[in-house]
Amino acid sequence: MGKGCVTATKYFLFLFNLLFFLFGVLILGIGLWFLLDNQSFVVVLNNSPPVKVACYILIGVGAFSMLLGLVGCIGAIYEIRCLLGLYFACLLLILVAQIAAALLTYFQKETLHQEMTRIVTKVLDNYPGNNSTTEQAWDFIQRTMACCGWNDRADWNGNPVIENSSKLLFPCSCQNVSLAAGNVSDSGFCEAQTPDWPVYDEGCASSVESWLLTNMAVVLGICLAVALIELLGMILSICLCRKVHKEDYTKVPKY
């Protein structure tokens, strides 16, 4: 490999690491979104420790990817073999971990579905109508998706407020606007005039799962793009590392 090819490889590697750094920013942003968003189904899922752990893992992977991209940029520009070797090894470990996580998620789909059902059932059973963050998120879901309960409206029958009340209470956010009489409340419990609640008949499971799959496709698309950049970065780093015969630390800027 001539000097011109080495120079080209060096700058291509720098460019890939810059992209890798930016994708790390994206992954970090997705993790923070899942953890902090108060207007989506993620708030309901945050009651599950595994989901919180997954959010923190995304944040950690994003931050580590940013750091690794910075290391790769420095190693490429200043042709430091130890940094290039470290960069290659870390990329290999990350790629293996990503493949393992993807396979685990694929083969645990049924378990994930059961966990989602358990979490939502717990939210419905413990819904006291005091306008907490989790309740606001679930009310928002039922209003915007025009649904009631997880599988259907009968999921609310286990709620102690509804069971123990002498009135015909039902969740206000379930109320079918076309059947509503007078003002429609956004949260808490409303009183029905008859045992037949004026609510949506369809459960939220299909709509929520469709929302999750849509957002998961975005996440998987970003992860796939990152994996391709990682693979190209590994190829370029090992090629450049083999052609750098000695370290020249005088190139490294001193502060």
Measured CA angle at 238 (ends 233, 244), to 5 deg: 120
Domain span at residue 128 reads 3-251
Residue 152 and residue 156: Cα distance in Å, rounded? 8
pLDDT tens-digit readout, 123-168: 888 887 666 777 888 888 888 888 998 888 888 988 888 888 878 8
Closest CA to 206 of 106, 100, 117, 128: 117
pLDDT tens-digit readout, 34-82: 777 655 666 666 556 666 777 787 788 888 888 888 888 888 778 788 8
Q: Count CB-CB contacts under 10 A for residue 41.
A: 23
Measured CA angle at 66 (ends 61, 72), to 5 deg: 120
Identity of residue 9: T
Closest CA to 121 of 175, 48, 66, 52: 48
Asked if pLDDT for residue 231 goes beyond 70, the answer is yes
| Number of domains composing the chain | 1
